[in-house]
A and B are shown apart, each in its own frame.
Chain A
Amino acid sequence: MPSALAEAEATAGAAPSHAVSGRPGRRAERGFALLAIAPAALLVLCLMLVPMAGALGISFFKTDGVTASFVGLANYAQLLSDPLVGAVLLVNLQFLIAVPLVLTAATLVAVLLYEKVLGWRAFRIIFFIPSVLSTAVIGLMFKSTFAFDGPINKLVIAAGGAPVSFFSTPTLAIAVIILALVWSGFGYGALIVLAGLSAIEPQIYEAAELDGAGWWQKLFHITLPQIRRVLLFVSVINVIYTFTSLFGFVYVMTAGGPGYSTTTLDYLIYQKAFSSADMGSGSALAILVFLLIGVLTVLQALVSRERRPSNG
């Protein structure tokens, strides 16, 4: 009996029609189901799965899109020994500085929003505005703000200093892009942290208050430990962003320069493929970046799976 019950439960979760299998409409339903999934499946097959297989295939060739010659793993070997790829990876790693900054700003804002101060709903929406804007728009805003004759340098001059050329100094250019990343990303992070805070059971706070715990004690001994998995989740998605979402910023702000000092992996793929007509090498690099992101994504999946039970 118990095994039959388990089986019934398993099939009930899968499809309601299993319960009435054998009725004449079943064949028709299967046919309809296949028709229903066909448009989505065909689009993904033709424009995602086939191209992904294509990218893998192209990565074994030397090609400019017109002629092609098979070179085996040579593209990969070349990339892995190319000092430029190593330098660009280091540039990407420098952008990771944005992750703890986003996390700190998001947590601060979320903890304050959670106090339900006057107008917290409006604040929540205001902080989210940058998250709905294109990275190109945000990038151009920061570019003109930090331009040589821009508002920041006007302030510098007014304060008696000499104007700073932000985008021709590698460390400053990276700093401006990091600032843009934090500005655009903390509101989204704050929403997620806020959702995590709402899942903390109020009894825990009540017990702590009975013990005479103050605001700061509650923050460090209850709130932050309780949402550590949410914080980990926000960190991981922001790490993934630094490998996948910098293209817009780099494209409009620095075009990868000065030199290659702000060229990120995603911008290098774009450059390789469409500026130097080296699609084989570009595809190989795309595959390598994909593997890197794949590892990070598996990590994220593990983190969010662990997070769910505690979220109820």
Chain B
Amino acid sequence: MAEAARVRGKLPAFVILLLVAATTLYPLSFVFTNAFRTKTEYLKGPYGWPAEWSLNNFVLLIENYDLFRAFGNSAMVIGTALVIVLAASTLAAYAIVKLDLPFKQVFSGTFLSVMLVPSQVLIIPVYLLLSLLRVVDTLPGVILVYAATNMPFAVFFMSTVMRSVPNELLEAARIDGAGPLRTLVSVVVPVLRTSILTLAVLIFLAMWNELIFGLILLPSEMNSLLTPRMASIGGRFVTNQPLLMAGLLLTSLPPILVLTFLSKYLVSGIAAGMGK
């Protein structure tokens, strides 16, 4: 009885949430269904399920706009930069929090203070620096920029979780004769693997959605990344909406998959990142 009344009392809340969820999901379903619709059918009406599911838009995108290549570039750049960020930030946080690092305050203070520098401030001098080194429009240049600009948050995040590793654990490894590197690899990293995965998810999303460096540091079509490429060709699709929708679907699929399967890590990461 009481339980039934409790559930009934929550009905208005449920209905309102359902309506808000519809405003979130409807635009996404519009993108999804029209990505598989032919242009002729779209012009007749863009609503409901497509009469026939066509992969034509995706074929066109890959043939005419070389999106496979952009996808490959993104995977290559983000994969490499992600590995660099995870490895370097774990090492740095270990040194700051658990080791006798000289100038500790200087290092941690510097990482903390550059954490919120917006890319707009960096873009002009970074462009000039990369062109001086002749690495504008090369993937290694952007890999280094992505690794560097995501490093301060990564070090902050890893330092926060590193404090939760009990010192007794490290002391025990030391007594067993393990050096600092072996202690890190065989004791610290296994303890922190969930946090490292959380960080990987957050950094992946930041890099996948990055726009300004991708647009300016990789100007040629051959080297462009997927998100900036979609952004710059988006305007040309005004006459072919289904083609645009197919492009949007491809670009948003990786983040949505990450959210679907790794939401546990993402939500805990948001809570940890709140203080930033």
Contacts and interface: CB of A to CB of B under 8 A. Distances in A.
A195 B46 CA distance: 39
Contacts of B271: 191, 195
Contact of B152 (A28, A48, A125): A48
Contacts of B64: none
Interface string B211-227: 11001100000000001
B92 A36 contact: yes
A260 interface: no
A91 interface: no
Interface residues of A, number: 95
B24 A129 contact: yes
Contact of B148 (A30, A47, A112, A247): A47
B100 A34 contact: no
Overall SS of chain A's interface: helix
A162 B227 CA distance: 35
Nearest to B235: A252
Which of A28, A130, A247 lies at the interface centre, i.e. has the most chain B CB atoms within 10 A of its CB?
A247
Given A117-B10, A125-B259, 15 more contacts: A29-B99, A30-B101, A36-B180, A39-B87, A43-B147, A115-B13, A117-B14, A119-B14, A132-B256, A151-B30, A192-B274, A195-B274, A251-B211, A293-B116, A308-B275
Interface of A: 14-18, 21, 26, 28-30, 32-34, 36-37, 39-41, 43-44, 46-52, 54-55, 58, 65, 105, 108-109, 112-113, 115, 117-120, 123-130, 132-137, 139-141, 143-145, 147, 151, 183, 187-188, 191-192, 195, 233, 240, 243-244, 247-248, 251-252, 255, 265-266, 269-270, 273-274, 279, 282-283, 286-287, 289-290, 293, 297, 304, 308
17 contacts: A15-B104, A30-B100, A40-B88, A40-B92, A41-B110, A47-B144, A48-B114, A132-B259, A133-B252, A145-B30, A192-B270, A195-B274, A251-B211, A251-B231, A269-B120, A286-B121, A290-B121
